[in-house]
Amino acid sequence: METLLYDLRYALRILRARPGFTAVAVLTLALGIGPNAAIFSVVNAVLLRPLPFAQPEQLVVALTKTSKIPRDWVTYPDLRDWREQSQLVSEFAGFAGQSVNLTGAQEPDRLIGSFVSDNFFKTLKVDVALGRGFIPGEDQPGAQRVVIVSHATWRDRFGADPNLLGRSLILNGQPYTVIGVLPEAFHFQWGDADVWMPIRGYPNFSDDRRKNAAAVIARLKPGVTVKQAQAEMDTIAARLAASEVHPRRA
């Protein structure tokens, strides 16, 4: 114990005498502790706590796999085919996150963006607190550019201005009309965002079946098990693979 106390006193004297070294030591320790805390936070939110949505047991994540990649995002044509052919899944919704530039306001800002299919909030069974949500067709070519903002962004960035609805925000150099504000309690475990926009605005969006476009969350119909849905998706995937150069499996 005497040796340990001596070493501790010596270390403290060195740290006080060399503040630059002290800062590096603290930062290194923080980098070591931070990832572990972050990992636990993700596991705790996604796996240990129930999802804060209606009928959370119906929600599943849908991925594709190939002979080389066991888990991957979904191409938009595949997503479209899944919607048309599945009888056991009520909704398939795509989403992809990427930060966006807000310009044209008092000062430029960098916001967390999420690009989603028009049925994204319908799949989660989440209603907006103000305004309206996305309507069918707003994720299609030629549709008006619209955006839904998070409650925190509405409050902190725009001062909870009720007149924000209908205003135009310049995001990534394009005008988007604000149509809604999300509830304060809304939290999406796979990626919260400041602004939510139609998926075709995603910079890396592609309509090519050879290029992945989005992650997918799906809602099973009442009474349908994951095993039943997987069996159906295997059948759909086999049907698509038979007609595609690049076979994929859901």
Per-residue pLDDT of the chain (250 residues; tens, 9 = 90+): 555 444 445 454 544 554 443 443 333 333 333 444 444 444 444 444 566 788 888 888 888 877 777 778 888 888 999 999 999 999 999 999 999 999 976 678 899 999 999 999 999 999 999 999 999 999 999 899 999 999 999 999 999 998 999 999 999 999 999 999 999 999 988 889 999 999 999 988 888 888 888 899 999 999 998 889 989 888 888 888 787 544 454 5
DSSP assigned state of 129: S
* Of 57, 56, 59, the residue nearest 219 (C-alpha): 59
pLDDT attached to residue 191: 83
pLDDT attached to residue 44: 44
* Of 76, 91, 93, the residue nearest 205 (C-alpha): 76
* Of 195, 188, 190, the residue nearest 215 (C-alpha): 190
19-to-5, 6, 16, 174 alpha-carbon distances in Å:
21, 20, 6, 47
Place of tokens 């009888």: 87
Map out the domains of the chain as residue ranges: 2-48, 56-201
State how far the Cα of 37 lies from the Cα of 205, in Å rounded to an integer: 33
Element (H, E) at 198: strand 195-198
> What is the bridge-based pairing of β-strands 89-97 and 146-149?
unpaired
Element (H, E) at 61: strand 59-62
Q: Which residues contact 27 (CB under 8 A, 6 or more apart)?
A: none
Task: Give the length of the chain.
Answer: 250
Q: Which residues contact 86 (CB under 8 A, 6 or more apart)?
A: 92, 229, 232, 233, 236
Tokens of 72: 């991957």
| Residue 223: strand, helix, or coil | coil
DSSP assigned state of 165: T
